[in-house]
Amino acid sequence: MPQRDGRTTSMKPVRMGVLGCADIALRRMLPAMAASPHTEVTAVASRDGVTATAVAREYGCRAVRGYAGILEREDVDAVYVPLPAALHADWVEAALRAGKHVLAEKPLTTDAARTAELVELARGQGLALMENLLFLHHHQHARVDRLLAEGAVGRLTSLHAAFCVPGFRANDIRYRPDLGGGALWDVGVYPLRVAVRFLGPDLEVAGAILTRGPDREVDTAGAVLLRAADGVAVQLTFGVEHTYRSAYELRGGNGELALDRAFTPPADHRPVLRLRPQGGAGQDILLEPDDQVANTVTAFVEAVRTRAAPAKEILVLARLLEEVRHAAG
């Protein structure tokens, strides 16, 4: 592994292996990794050799049938795990024990205790372990930070966030409980994580509901009420059989700040922050586009090269997800 010299572009690319040909891998992550000068896709695995061969041909890399073969390769420094949520824990652990850095789709696991074990394993091995929540790497949220720090809304009193998407195909894995399906794992993680981002780790679940649509075996909608240590109230909603909604609002004593397309903006999207001061004229702040997928790849490369410890927020999110499940019965 090359040593950090402060100049990312002067280092050899991180050699990536991909465990599975999931939709998120094909649409977002593989194109971003192939386009980045800091990563090289060296191998793609699938349970189906035909699928692996087709994807590998497109990216000029090696096809591997079965996931274990990727972990045995000496030309793979790190792996990306886009498998169903229920399979994350075992394959992330296997990758770490094979000495590979790991970028895993959210949630890292569906069990807080297992998440803690994997974080500790990565720390002990000196390996990077990142949970793939793309929105965290978009610059629009840093601009929100600055506005809040400047007192744009006064003392913060509440946060409202929502992430809802239309339904999936009837046979989609996200409707299968044995594979970790359900709205909480698929979309609920986003509003929960944005609450952690702006309010910190000291959040408590004050109440939660999870509901199932007709003939569904997994939750398809939910709502969560959180309590921050400083008294800020947090209301979150999410669902997978809804009209699309991806937004959050931060309200304070002097006004409110709102952002649409908060979690999945396209790379060419120009974000608009809507600032509404109390008793004053509103202002729409237009930002430049940003590519959160490319930024995520860059952030992971930096974590690999510096052998950064896993973010503490991984454990916070895992705890909150478990508490939501418990509160919802």
Q: Which residues are catalytic?
A: 106
What's the distance, Cα to Cα, between the start and end of the chain in Å? 46
Q: How far apart are CA 174 and CA 17, in angstroms?
A: 24
* Burial label, 261 (beta-carbon count in 10 A; 0-12, 13-18, 19+): middle
**Tokens coding 250:** 């931060």
Q: How far is CA 52 from the centre of its chain?
A: 24
Q: Which position has the token pair 């990142």?
A: 130
φ/ψ bin of 279: left (φ > 0), alpha (ψ from -120 to 50), beta (otherwise): left
Q: How far apart are CA 247 and CA 234, in angstroms?
A: 14
- Please say whether the beta carbons of 257 and 147 come within 8 A: yes
Q: What is the DSSP string of 242-293?
A: S--EEEEEEEETTEEEEEES-S---TT---EEEEEETTS--EEEE-----HH
- Please say whether the beta carbons of 41 and 73 come within 8 A: no
